[in-house]
Structure 1
Amino acid sequence: MNSAAYAHHLASLQQRAEDALARCGFDALLIASGIEKYAFLDDRPYLFAPNPHFKHWLPLTQHPNSWLLIRPGQQKPLLVYYQPDDYWHVPPSAPSGFWVEHFEIRIISTPDEARQHLPLQLAAAGRLAIIGEADAALEGLVPNNPAALLNLLHYARGCKTEYELTQMRAASARAVRAHVAARQAFLAGASEAQIHAAYLAASGHTDRDLPYGNIVALNEHGAVLHYQYQDLTPPTQSRSLLIDAGAQVAGYAADITRSWSAGDADFDALLAAMESAQLALVGEVRAGVDYRDIHLSTHARIASILKTLGIVKAMSEEAMLAERITSTFMPHGIGHLLGLQVHDVGGFMADETGALAPKPEGHPYLRLTRTLQPGMAVTIEPGLYFIPTLLKALRAGPHAGAVNWGLVEHLSRYGGVRIEDDVVCRAAGAPPENLTRDAFAALG
């Protein structure tokens, strides 16, 4: 890890925090890492998910009951680091690594010991901004999550530092290795569960490490946007694979989707058309571009594909858009912000006050409505699916005669296509950085 890049990252966060504190009338910022949660009426814990504000400062993702205090004018943030003496579970190791020198660290062995090291008087006076879930509270330290302060931090978080982009490049490389292994398993006739296992082995992750649950969908299952199961038995014929699967490094996520074919002329033509459209959409990721325009551009390209391939034969592309026929085949948004969270915060913010930038009319599932700025990391993930529920409505509607239902029936056996890359907006006039394609190219 480049220590200079991390130091610059921390300096940026410190400046953002100090500005936000001054503007919102607080003297210091306290961030809870979070606590381990247990299933109702059970002693089985859920997977620990750290407060993203905590891992924005620190590459620590498995450290509950810890706290980070940012004090304006102080040389180093204070980290209260929870390290219990535990023989039931493996406790966190002693603090080590490139990040340690940048923090004042105090070790605690019980959660309540944190109170000895944190500014209880500031909290009592209402001068301490505390970010965290309600259940992270200790006596005298109750998260207040000031909305104005969070808006300032969330808006700024849309643009990544070079340290953050370094982690995201590494996460992309990790995920791409696994996508290649998944494709090989698919072509060998593996089941969804076996493909998933091949993905995990190649990524070096276990299920608990993934930034989100992998979508591993064979054949018709590819028409379910968030298909959540993994069949143990291979289908009689594996025709197609849609795999939406990520990886993470130091708390930063990759989110990549690929669609693969076992060989069919019509489905392969659809794959080729979607590949071309996806690359063109990636090229639209430029500073100053309204991301909503990329989403609308996607629908125009989907209309062109539907017309060119003869899926919708007796209707103009303009009419398809006007009548929202394209939404039958692509009902989701073109993408979202990416970073500490797969669907990173701040996607709907018009400005740092938290004012909302609305979604385009008729497009309720778009997750990003901001104008792109240098350093923003976004996904570009066009899809074209054959979803029974939506096709049934189309068939019952006034435009059913425009559709080549024979071709739709054939392509429905393949579920659908989604191609997703992680893309960084660069300085004005510069082409985007495609983290995903760069990682695939590095594999050769």
Structure 2
Amino acid sequence: MTSAESSSLNTLYAAHLAEQQRRTEHALQRGGYDALLIASGIEKFAFLDDRPYVFQTNPHFKLWVPLVQHTDSWLVIRPGHKPRLVYCQPEDYWHVPPAAPSGFWVEHFELIVIRRPEDARQHLQLPGRLAIVGEADAALEGVVPNNPPEVLNPLHYARAVKTPYELLRLREASTAGARAHLAAQQAFREGRSEAEIHRAYLAASGHAERDLPYGNIVALNEHAAVLHYQYQETKAPAQSLSLLVDAGAHSVGYASDITRTTGNGDASFQALIDAMEAAQLRLVDRVRAGVDYRDIHLASHREIAGVLRQLDIVKMDEDAMLAERVTSTFLPHGIGHLLGLQVHDIGGFMASEEGGTLDKPEGHRYLRLTRVLQPGMVVTIEPGLYFIPMLLDQLRATPAAAQVDWSLVKHLSAFGGVRIEDDVACTDTGAPENMTREAFAALG
């Protein structure tokens, strides 16, 4: 990083912290609290075992500090005060302890280093009413998480709008994810197994498996019809027809979430990929300030109807397909979600900072975002068209079945399906910023 880049990062981070301080003071005032305490979390172990689960940092903690592997640490946020970071750095010869705090972010905190988790307690005892955010097992004597909704609601609602610092981190995560997707596609063309493609992805992303923001979906052939396919076969199939990879990367806790589908040259499947690519880009263009995200989801079903008709998979007009819910056979999930510190970032259904719920469209229970878009929101746009046996069987039992080209469906079923997903920022200039496409373009 050049000195100019370092200076810019520090400026963005300082502004980010100022905005989080403002939001927190607002939330504390609304709830009638005097300070916010945030636990990073603790290491957890498997039942009747001494093997730890992969540690997941409290997202409220990593919102403030670029620390994603630090257990037993705390933040103290008070109106009019510099944020306090109680940083647990145990003396340990069994494991590598956290390094001494350093970097562009340290100067912005009142830093207190402790050696034992219980030593944090004396630095968290403050006068007044405390909002304590964390899981119950993060409790110390006299410091017990209460997670008050009257404080969390405005914080969760506001977190959907990203600061320029957060947008920078999300772009970095997109770059790492795009690089890894290109490596996965190359491994597919070489005839590799799902497990080998996954390993190629990890190597190119620069992540160990435990560092991924979510478990990679690496699906060859008909496995692409399983929306959250969770396995990775170690043996390559006799013929690799298609590859669907839904996988991301992270930059200091901020996630990317990218899906790409690759074919083997089959003309009908490539025509499906091309039609879905065009439809996906039209949906991306709808990510604009003031647009109800639910309308983008409903538009995705009209796009799927158009693809089904264009390729003669279903010989019905689009309105009839929508009326008879034919498109739900082929697109059973939502068009996307908020993205940020969590892959499915919190606050997607909130009616306001006071809470409440914005309902999903009737019949679309898997949609994960129902809010009106604002500049700074980052969302995924991920239409899919799949050949899922159980849903196709249900379609066969309806009058619409007579309008389906079942021989073409049988042929395409061997490929599983298509999903294309980009991470897209809503801007204040009109046109959206497609972080994913820009990352791929920069890689050449």
User: Does the alignment pair 1:95 with 2:101?
Assistant: yes
User: Does the alignment pair 1:104 with 2:110?
Assistant: yes
**Counterpart secondary structure, 2:272:** helix
Q: How do 1:156-195 residues align onto structure 2 when only pairs under 5 Å count?
A: 156-195=158-197
* Aligned match of 1:373: 374
The amino acid that maps onto 1:358 is: D
User: Does the alignment pair 1:225 with 2:227?
Assistant: yes
Using the alignment, how far apart are the partners of 1:97 and 1:175 within structure 2? 24
* Aligned match of 1:402: 403
Q: How do 1:10-89 residues align onto structure 2 when only pairs under 5 Å count?
A: 10-74=17-81, 76-89=82-95
Q: Does the 8 Å contact 1:215/1:245 carry over to 2? A: yes
Using the alignment, how far apart are the partners of 2:413 and 2:331 within structure 1? 14
Using the alignment, how far apart are the partners of 2:88 and 2:216 within structure 1? 31
Moved over 4 A (4+): none
**Counterpart secondary structure, 1:336:** coil
Q: How do 1:8-407 residues align onto structure 2 when only pairs under 5 Å count?
A: 8-74=15-81, 76-122=82-128, 127-313=129-315, 315-407=316-408
* Aligned match of 1:414: 415
Q: Deviations over 1:216-248 (max 9, x none)?
A: 000000000000000000000000000001000
Q: Does the 8 Å contact 1:257/1:420 carry over to 2? A: yes
User: Does the alignment pair 1:7 with 2:14?
Assistant: yes
The alpha-carbon deviation at position 398 of structure 1 amounts to 2.4
Q: Does the 8 Å contact 1:120/1:141 carry over to 2? A: no
The amino acid that maps onto 2:358 is: A
Using the alignment, how far apart are the partners of 2:190 and 2:431 within structure 1? 37
The amino acid that maps onto 1:392 is: D
Point out where structure 1 has 5 or more consecutive residues left out of the alignment.
Answer: none
Using the alignment, how far apart are the partners of 1:262 and 1:423 within structure 2? 28
The amino acid that maps onto 2:350 is: M
Q: Does the 8 Å contact 1:28/1:72 carry over to 2? A: yes
Using the alignment, how far apart are the partners of 1:296 and 1:396 within structure 2? 24
The alpha-carbon deviation at position 45 of structure 1 amounts to 0.3
The amino acid that maps onto 2:436 is: T
Give the aligned length. 437
* Aligned match of 2:3: none
Q: Does the 8 Å contact 1:211/1:253 carry over to 2? A: yes
The amino acid that maps onto 2:50 is: D
Q: Does the 8 Å contact 1:67/1:80 carry over to 2? A: yes
**Counterpart secondary structure, 2:355:** coil
Using the alignment, how far apart are the partners of 1:232 and 1:118 within structure 2? 49
Using the alignment, how far apart are the partners of 1:44 and 1:306 within structure 2? 49
TM-score, length of structure 2 as denominator length: 0.98
Using the alignment, how far apart are the partners of 1:191 and 1:23 within structure 2? 54
Using the alignment, how far apart are the partners of 2:75 and 2:59 within structure 1? 12
TM-score, length of structure 1 as denominator length: 0.98
Q: Deviations over 1:389-438 (max 9, x none)?
A: 100111122221111100000000000000000000001x5200000000
Point out where structure 2 has 5 or more consecutive residues left out of the alignment.
Answer: 1-5
Using the alignment, how far apart are the partners of 1:83 and 1:121 within structure 2? 26
* Aligned match of 1:443: 443
